[in-house]
Structure 1
Amino acid sequence: MVCTMAFLRALLSSARTFRYGPGLSAGLPADDAVLLDAPDEWLSPALVAAALGEYEPAAKLLATTRDAADWETRDRALARLVAFARGRDGWLTGWLAAAPRDPDALLVKAALAVRRAWESPAHSELLREVGPLITAATEADPRDPVPWRLALDHARGTHAPHTVFESLWEQAVRRCTHHYGTHVSALRYLSAEWYGSHRECFDFAERAAEDAARDSLVQALPVRAAFALLRDEKAAARANSVQVDRVDAAADLAIGLSAGFPAGDPWPAEVRNLLAYVLAARGRSAEALEQFRLIGTCATSFPWASVTGDTLGAFLDARADVRLRVASSTPLCGRPERGGLRGH
């Protein structure tokens, strides 16, 4: 009898998938159309010029963000330029030779050194060596909060005590109260993986989100804390009802943030990728599928790189799995199942 019922359930699931699977693909781009960490259109000219060894467009772009105090765009551009410079930094060498005291060139130099240090097994020792580069970047333009993000990452990697972290954090928020990048760096320091706990992570993230504007990416900090808990298998297995509720509340908050941006917008793409991961992990498959639709072609390395070395493959597999789960749980009559897809 048990075997017969299991067979019938599998048969019904297959029938649902066959019937509803194609329709659920509506709005999802084909696998070969999805791009990993595709650059924003406004950044492309600087990257193309850098590929030719020319630094002027990148210098102009970063100078514009600094003059306008557009720190979020500045940090985003910096991350993409540093990622490019990891393999081809001739344009940066030329820039530093032409303008050795340029605040933007010093920022890129420091950020590249920090990234390379973190990629080494001996990152603690290497990070200590790049400390003066971060100091030079912070002093080059005292208004800029972005170098303080580097300083917070540096503190985490060099095992700086909480007193040092708190001092750096004070300097960061003094320059920009709700800068997303510095908040993410602080959250990592406070994580259970480093020098804090899951509770500290959630407390910090929820307070920051409560104080930030509704359209600020800081609203996604709690879902980052949720991701950290879900990735910690032992902690997730021991999670109590309060922690489970905090994870779902974080996801709900991020859903609201995501809804404020157009579908396919690269600006919230990382938040949407992270949100899709968390929703799928919580069994909220229909909501995860909607985030995959909003993501469109904009897959991001985070969080999928934490799953496997095949980052794009992990994204595509998760998307396919969510679609299959939604299809297999849809009744053959086409009506939603009682209780929905959200479960604990």
Structure 2
Amino acid sequence: MVGTMAMQLPFIRASRMARTSPHLVGEPRADDEVLLDAPDARLSPALVAAARGEHGPAATLLFATRTSAEWERRDRYVTRLAAFAHSRPEWLDAWLAIAPQDPDALLVGAQLAVDRAWRSPARAELLREVSPLITAAARGDQRDPVPWRLALDHARGAQAGHTYFEELWAAAVRRAPHHYGCHVAALRYLATYWHGSHHECFDFADRAAQDAPADSLVQALPLRAAFGYLTDRCGPEVPRERLDAAADRAIALSPLLPAADPWPARMRNLLIFVLAGLERWPDAAEQLRLNGPYATSFPWDQVSDDPLGHFLRLREDILAGAAGAAESRSGHPRSERGGRVRPGDH
């Protein structure tokens, strides 16, 4: 049962209408051992086969996620497979030609079409044209929330009104009340629809996290709101305590997820970004330890054209800051933590 508070989106406001072998957790890896956007052990064979023009492993993988209701992994795999198909579409074209009604092939095809439209200057017009593809994917399996996450992203790009968006949101959470991808899509719509509405974003994210299980990725939704605030630099000030609380929620989630594994690396990279922005160096160093050798393009590509280089430079800052904090506790004071991250700070 979905909590009523988590169901509500605050659209109506009072003020205005590669390598996948496991890694041990330990000391930071050398720079040349850090992997950017490494696929996990299940996705890697599908990508290797797709590079040969074969769609079978991708079809098997997505069918397995759908039949076992692994919606978070399904969402991630669909996104990665569509990104691969952007430059190497032959395997997907063959898949759709052989099985034009396959729900998994339709979903990857719809994701690819939306991604391509987003890259175009005529985004809104092109996104409206791909609506039938999303509808077909949504009809493929009535339980699947991932087409609805795609529909939510599509609505944001097409500049849909909040009434229509709320209808999509209600349909998404009926299928999976705590699906992280749908929650992120709703948060991004809210941030875009009312630019600078950080308090509303935090309210929505906090309510969703409070309703979600302790090991759900939705526990990191307030962290996503904190990231939006720290990088947006507009709108009313958000108290430092609220930013710390968002980071603390994600810190509590992190040990519940596999350590030194590509699957939770995106969440941990985001947590590292926010903790560094808050100058919480020892906490950030601990997340680096749990993260292992895995860097992800997001969030670093939001502030740099060289996400891996940015991650490596910030990693040095974190380790130096953590060492300085340890010295401070030993009687060697350093500057107090605090502040608001700025693009290019690190």
TM-score, scaled to structure 2: 0.86
Residues 105-162 of structure 1 show CA distances to partners (whole Å, capped at 9, x for unaligned) of 1101000001111122221111111111111111121211100001000110011011
What is the 5 A alignment of 1:1-344?
Answer: 27-191=27-191, 193-195=192-194, 197-235=197-235, 239-240=237-238, 243-331=239-327, 335=330, 342-343=337-338
Q: CA deviation at 1:341?
A: 6.4
Query: Per the alignment, do residues 114 and 281 of structure 1 end up closer, same or farther by CA in structure 2, a change over 3 Å counting?
Result: same
Q: Is the 8 A contact 2:327 2:333 kept in 1?
A: no
* Contact 2:260-2:292 at 8 Å conserved across structures: yes
State how far apart, in whole Å, the 2-side matches of 1:337 and 1:274 are: 30
Taking the aligned partners of 1:261 and 1:305, their CA distance within structure 2 comes to: 24
For the 8 Å contact 2:260–2:291, the answer to whether it is kept is yes
Deviations 1:54-76 (A, max 9, x none): 11111111111111122112112
The structure having more radius of gyration, on CA atoms, is: 1
Q: Is the 8 A contact 1:286 1:341 kept in 2?
A: no
Unaligned runs of 5+ in 1: 1-25
CA contact (8 A) 1:285 1:341 kept: no
TM-score (norm 1): 0.87
Q: Show CA shifts across 1:251-280 (max 9, x none).
A: 000000012224212221111101111111
Distance 1:92 1:324 in 2: 46
Partner deviation per Cα, 1:48-98 (whole Å, 9 max, x = no partner): 111110111111111111111221121121111111111101000000110
Higher helix proportion, which one? 1
Q: What's the CA shift for 1:342?
A: 4.9
Against the structure 1 CA distance between its residues 28 and 171, is the aligned structure 2 distance closer, same or farther, given a 3 Å change threshold? same
Residues in 2 aligned to 1:301 and 1:60: alpha-carbon distance in whole angstroms: 27
Identity score, percent: 60
Task: Pick closer, same or farther for the CA change 1:328–1:156 going to 2, 3 Å.
Answer: same
Moved over 6 A (4+): 338-341
Rounded Cα–Cα distance in structure 2 between residues aligned with 1:79 and 1:253:
26
- Look up the equivalent residue of 2:209 and give its one-letter code: A
Letter in 1 for 2:294: C
Q: Label 1:227 to 1:175 Cα distance change in 2 as closer, same or farther (>3 A).
A: same
1:46 is aligned with what amino acid?
A
Give the conservation status (yes or no) of the 8 Å contact 2:37–2:296.
Answer: yes
Q: Quick one: which amino acid aligns to residue 194 of structure 2?
A: Y
Which runs of 5 or more structure 2 residues have no equivalent in the other structure? 1-25, 340-346
Q: Which amino acid aligns with 2:62?
A: L
> 3-state SS of the aligned residue for 1:86?
helix
Q: Which residue of the partner structure matches residue 23 of structure 1?
A: none
